[in-house]
């Protein structure tokens, strides 16, 4: 992204300090006035004879006319969020549905049901719902509205009204059959370029994610060593009268470094790691969306081939092909619009995240 290089002049009246310089970068303003505000908070543990799970409070405030009230408060568990995501994918197969945090956490990070894990998941669920709320199409999805407003028993009842097992099996069989047909013959160049972009993006974002976790681990190890190293000098000063002041000074210095490192680690864990991992998940979602678009295209291609090989039933085939052409066009247009929107959001997230990390690093070294 070259937009950062365009901001290359700083006011001479501004003090020449790394932190003050980094603050000169100005990003675009936030989204326009919103009419739907969602908060995920107040995690609560539930222990039953069968399972232990967490529910989160979801508070919605809105001025939209299609809502019966201006404020709602419901409790949802992780499985409810999974249900919403699957319903959105089912209704909008070629839109980019925001990612959810994984059901199982990464090895070596945090323990399940620890305060750290619950808070990390709460933030991710909060972001998931607000990304949907900000989306021009997903925000008006009926299942999304039900998720935000229905009480637990109402939501449970609504879930049971979904497609039956045989219907779901049929969809799965069609998807698998479509996916094994081979490469799509008539894929527009734009979507081939999207595929190439996402393959490269996936490699790079996964690498960045690994590097960021390695940096965080090294910082944590350094922090733990310093926590032990400082008190040693304080104890040492008690037995060295001539060096007491110097040793206490060193202990005090190490303690300040320790606090600065802790702040730096907090910046990494709160800002860098979640954003990078979110876009690792986004890369998987994008590849899935492109595959679904190709499946729709493949269905059309197979019907066109079948029509060319059949001399009878041409009217019936022509009607089916017309419907499939409309379906492909709608899928293409939906993905094109969402692709541009996603790239803009991604570039904004990456730019602000890495600027934030740079600013935190500058403050750390200044301290």
Least confident of 14-23, 201-210, 272-281, 322-331: 14-23
Domains, the chain, ordered by start: 33-151 (3.30.1520.10)
How many Cα atoms within 13 Å fall on the side-chain side of residue 317?
A: 16
Per-residue confidence (pLDDT) for residue 12, from 0 to 100: 40
Per-residue pLDDT reduced to its tens digit, 48-64: 878 788 999 999 999 99
Residue-wise pLDDT for 253-282, tens only, equals 999 999 999 999 999 998 899 999 999 999
Query: Does residue 174 or residue 212 have the better pLDDT?
Result: 212
**Which two structure tokens, joined as six digits, stand for 22?**
């980094």
Q: Tokens representing 304?
A: 């066109």
Supply φ then ψ for residue 293, to 5 degrees.
Answer: -65, -45
pLDDT given for residue 180 in this prediction = 43
Determine if the pTM surpasses 0.85.
no
**CB-CB contact of 129 with 85 (8 Å):** no
Q: Is residue 330 scored above 70 in pLDDT?
A: yes
With vertex at residue 272, the alpha carbon angle to CA 268 and CA 277, rounded to the nearest 5 degrees, is 125
Per-residue pLDDT reduced to its tens digit, 246-261: 999 999 999 999 999 9
- Separation of alpha carbons 297 and 178, rounded Å: 9
Residue 99: which of 284, 272, 338 has the closest Cα? 284
Mean pLDDT over 304-322 rounds to: 70
Residue 30's φ and ψ, nearest 5 degrees, are -70, 180
Looking at residue 322, its pLDDT comes to 81
> What's the CA gap between 263 and 267, in Å, rounded?
6
111 and 117 Cβ atoms separated by less than 8 Å: yes
């Amino acid at each position: 992204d070259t937009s950062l290089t365009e901001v290359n002049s700083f006011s001479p009246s501004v003090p020449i300090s790394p932190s003050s310089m980094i603050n000169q970068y100005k990003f675009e303003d936030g989204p326009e006035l919103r009419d739907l505000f969602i908060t995920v908070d107040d995690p609560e543990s539930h222990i039953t004879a069968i399972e232990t799970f967490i529910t989160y409070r979801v508070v919605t405030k809105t001025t939209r006319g299609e809502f019966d009230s201006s404020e709602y408060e419901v409790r949802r568990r992780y499985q409810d969020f999974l249900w919403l995501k699957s319903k959105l994918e089912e209704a909008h197969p070629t839109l980019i549905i925001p990612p959810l945090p994984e059901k199982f956490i990464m090895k070596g990070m945090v323990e399940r049901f620890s305060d750290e894990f619950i808070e990390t998941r709460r933030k991710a669920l909060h972001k998931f719902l607000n990304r949907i709320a900000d989306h021009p199409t997903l925000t008006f999805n009926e299942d999304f509205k039900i998720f935000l407003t229905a009480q637990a028993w109402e939501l449970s009842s609504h879930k049971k009204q979904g497609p039956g097992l045989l219907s779901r099996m049929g969809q799965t069989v069609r998807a698998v059959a479509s996916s094994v047909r081979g490469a799509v013959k008539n894929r527009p160049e734009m979507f081939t370029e999207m595929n190439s972009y996402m393959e490269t993006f996936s490699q790079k974002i996964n690498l960045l994610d690994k590097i960021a976790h390695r940096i965080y681990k090294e910082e944590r190890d350094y922090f733990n060593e310093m926590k032990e190293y400082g008190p040693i000098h304080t104890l040492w000063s008690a037995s060295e009268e001539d060096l007491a002041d110097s040793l206490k000074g060193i202990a005090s210095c190490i303690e300040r470094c320790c606090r600065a490192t802790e702040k730096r680690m907090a910046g990494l864990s709160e800002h860098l790691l979640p954003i990078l991992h979110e876009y690792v998940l986004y890369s998987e979602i994008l590849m899935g969306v492109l595959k679904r678009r190709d499946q729709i295209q493949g269905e059309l291609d197979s019907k066109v081939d079948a029509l060319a090989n059949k001399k009878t039933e041409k009217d019936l085939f022509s009607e089916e092909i017309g419907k499939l052409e409309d379906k492909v066009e709608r899928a293409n247009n939906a993905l094109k619009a969402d692709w541009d929107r996603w790239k803009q959001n991604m570039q904004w997230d990456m730019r602000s995240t890495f600027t934030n990390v740079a600013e935190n690093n500058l403050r750390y070294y200044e301290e």
